[in-house]
Amino acid sequence: QRKPPKLQFAALLLHSFAMFAFSLLCAKIIGELLKLNDDPKVSGVYLHLPPASLTSRVINTLYPEKDVDCITDMNMGRLVQGNLSRGFVPPLAGAVLSLLQKHDASLEGKTVLLVGEGPLKLALHCLIERNGMFVQSSHSNSNSLQSQVGEHNIGSSSRSGLGYLTAAYRAQVSFSTLNFSCFSALFVHWFCSRWLQEQQYRPWHLHTLKLLPLNPVPSDIEISRAQTPKPIDQLAAEIGLLPEELEPYGRSKAKVRLSLLDRLHSQPDGKYILVAGITPTPLGEGKSTVTIGLVQAMSAHLKLNSFACLRQPSQGPTFGVKGGAAGGGYAQVIPMEEFNLHLTGDIHAITAANNLVAAAIDARMLHEATQSDKALFNRLVPSVNGVRKFSPIQISRLQGLGIHKTDPASLTPQEVSAFARLDLDPSKITWHRVVDTNDRFLRKITVGQASTEKGQTRETGFDIAVASEIMAILALSDNLGDMRGRLGRMVVGTSRSGKPVTAEDLGVSGAVAVLMKDAIKPTLMQTLEGTPVFVHAGPFANIAHGNSSVLADKLALKLVGQDGFVVTEAGFGADIGMEKFFNIKCRASGLKPNVVVLVATVRALKMHGGGPNVSAGAPLPREYIDENLSLVARGCRSNLRKQIQIAKLFGVPVVVALNAFRTDTPAEIDLVCQIAKECGASDAVSCQHWSQGGRGCLELALAVKEAARQPTNFQFLYNTEMPIVEKIRTIAQKVYGADDIEVSPEVQRKIDYYNHQGYGSLPICMAKTHLSLSHMPDKKGAPTGFVLPIRDIRASVGAGFIYPLVGTMSTMPGLPTRPCFYDIDIDPVTEDIIGLF
């Protein structure tokens, strides 16, 4: 008040500046802490900062699980409560306790004098009391400190901010001082021990959700909404995931980081179970519900660690005619709305990545058609601040052309032309745009009709997003580097000189990998009974292999432990999805299955036994509602027998799961189980998971557990070094039951071309109807005496397979007269979705 006004103003200004600078410093510290929180390579953070900087906001920015010094409010609260299983124990306090525990005499009942103030004193107080000792406190400036130390068994000084502690042992009648370097060594030892302990496999402590099935069974969405899912971070902790391995997307789903595979690389895998099916009716036979019911039975009722691995559904069928893929009844993934709509955006990422490649193709053809070699080269390799240089992906292209130069100025005119021009043949571009909607009018379109495209029109089309090769790559990739390499090898077309042009040649594969960097992480969800599920990838089961991702299976196999079970599902019937699972997915992953669960229904068996046609949306004929043992027997001895034989070709035991419907009679169920075992199944059981949840699948769970104890002799059906035609013939004869194959001259020319390009050793991914073992959808049972016609053949080089087409395959579904979207709406007040199954 007595200072002159100018000095008062200057002091105020300095104070304001100091506060501003301090707030900037705190913001900088917080920014660095947020980076460290998200860095999976950083296991713990020690805040060695000036006391003034350790504000509550700064301290509590740090993740509790990375708080080495136990100073966050969350960790201090856990320490006071005695919850030492999560987070860190303060290292100095832990070191003091460790030294005390090394004393020869028992510490229980001793009295400890704590001298000083601060968080360290509180930590010591809690730890010492929990080890059976009594605690008294004193200030460091107390006049009676010497006498107090003499009166107590143990004295300990704990001053906030000091790098030393003093411990006095009455039994030794002396004081020993531990300097900072001693405690540094103790801290490093303690921290390393704690870190190693954190990295080990963690036993599961799964809290399952109670299921109270109703009769009659409500709609799927009503059942889903009636069950409150656990918070996803709680489920993750229960199955041994570390907090830094989880990337939550809301409350009920999360991405899981691939660093888990590094942490648990030495952990033995669990048992690997494949769920496949007999040749289905157009209505589907319930493989997804069996998969979910089985893991609910194993984890919630038998207390066995188990994980389901499912494909992500396309939104096309969700709004079309098929509906979702979250299971059904009391065997579902929840929340089913989130499962079926968007999930964590993987399919949208695939759509963006796929269409970026398509845009790059058309733009490149336009620029090549309208520019000279020199102009094209100058724009592809521009001068920036007087410096011209190739990007890494352009150097990769140069090396692929056999040009080992890095200076753009050193290229000859011929090399400039070879580098700058892909010279794509518009009639031989194989890459389509995609959208995740059933839209029949996009099957064939013309692009480039605007005047700005200078007459560069061409015919092309759209596929549904899940038919993109990028989806197949996602499902087969082993890690981010593997995915990046596969994306670069994708062939998008052929040059006019007959050379394949890849995404790497286009220069777009790195950008595509960036768009896919989060999609490569599996999404964690849960079943109705609170058991874990990975949802990841959803490739078509006809032109692709129709299985969920390799990475989801690998992560799950580590998490369940050596005695646990991972249950994954293959699309369509065993002749398609299972065959591709074995010959393509297992070949890519190196994993070997222990058991095949073959799903059958009385309905499908009656169809294969000679029953009338079944159509989606039409009432079932009486033959499928009334008991008919003769139809069931004929279906079992034809299609079911053949599918069991296919599984046994690969040396894997088979358990038949009869997905029971309310119209099935006990006699029909008993007959199926009896014939299945006669046909070579290890066991055959009826399942009521749809109406009862996991409890209705207990018999199946026990049968699978028993079958998994049997030795397996897993083998591939063919050697990939066999000629392409012989690999196709092997599948046709051994799996489908064909007499032979028919290869047209045009197909043979393509095969010769693929051999010339070095693709001959890729596995085969047959594209044929799923409604028959043959190429004729109306031929049910187990047809014989037919020749399989190969109409066309294509290569998904990035995904790593060649796919022969048996008949016409649609990669863009259409909408029916009355799609599912007629029933779907939202309540604007509650935001509840209405009419979703």
* Distance of alpha carbon 103 from alpha carbon 170, whole angstroms: 12
Assess whether 661 carries a catalytic annotation: yes
8-state DSSP, 736: I
SS3 96: helix
352 token code pair: 């963006």
Strands 532-535 and 523-527: antiparallel
Quick check: 158 and 165 in contact, CB under 8 A?
yes
The C-alpha angle 527, 530, 533, rounded to 5 degrees, equals: 45
Catalytic hit among 78, 255, 271, 311 = 311
Amino acid at 105: A
User: How far apart, in Å, are the Cα atoms of 489 and each of 482, 506, 543, 801?
Assistant: 11, 11, 18, 12
Which is the catalytic residue, given 134, 661, 714, 821? 661
Neighbour-count burial for 68-97, b at 16+ CB within 10 Å, e otherwise: bbbbbebbbebbeeeebeebbbbbbbbbbb
Q: Which element (helix H / strand E) includes 150?
A: helix 145-151
Q: Based on the residue annotation, tell me whether 287 is a catalytic residue of this protein.
A: yes
Q: Which of 307, 565, 572, 786 is catalytic?
A: 572
Listed residue (213, 469, 486, 528) closest to 350, CA to CA: 469
Give the integer Cα–Cα distance in Å for 776 and 743.
17
Residues 540 and 803: beta-carbon distance below 8 Å: no
CA distance 525 to 508: 33
204 given a catalytic annotation: no
Burial of 12 (0-12, 13-18, 19+ CB in 10 A): exposed
- Strand pairing category for 331-334 and 327-328: antiparallel
Q: Distance between CA atoms of 438 and 817, rounded to whole angstroms?
A: 13
From the candidates 690, 786, 801, 837, give the one annotated as an active-site residue.
690
The residues near 611 (Cβ < 8 Å, ≥ 6 apart) are: 621, 623, 624, 628, 631, 635
**Are 597 and 702 spatial neighbours (Cβ–Cβ below 8 Å)?**
no
Active site residue 534: no
Active-site residue among 78, 194, 257, 322?
Answer: 322
Q: Which of 72, 289, 351, 523 is catalytic?
A: 289
The answer to whether 311 is a known catalytic residue is yes
Whole-angstrom Cα distance, residue 620 to residue 720? 44
Active-site entry in 255, 287, 580, 641: 287
Point out the catalytic residue in the list 541, 600, 647, 708.
541
Closest CA to 173 of 153, 158, 156, 147: 153
Residue 431 annotated to the active site: no
Q: What is the torsion angle, in degrees rounded to the nearest 10, for the CA atoms of residue 760, residue 542, residue 781 and residue 714?
A: 50
What does the DSSP assignment read for 32-65?
Answer: HHHHHHH-TT---B-----GGG--HHHHTTS-GG
Q: Catalytic residue numbers? A: 287, 289, 311, 322, 541, 572, 661, 690
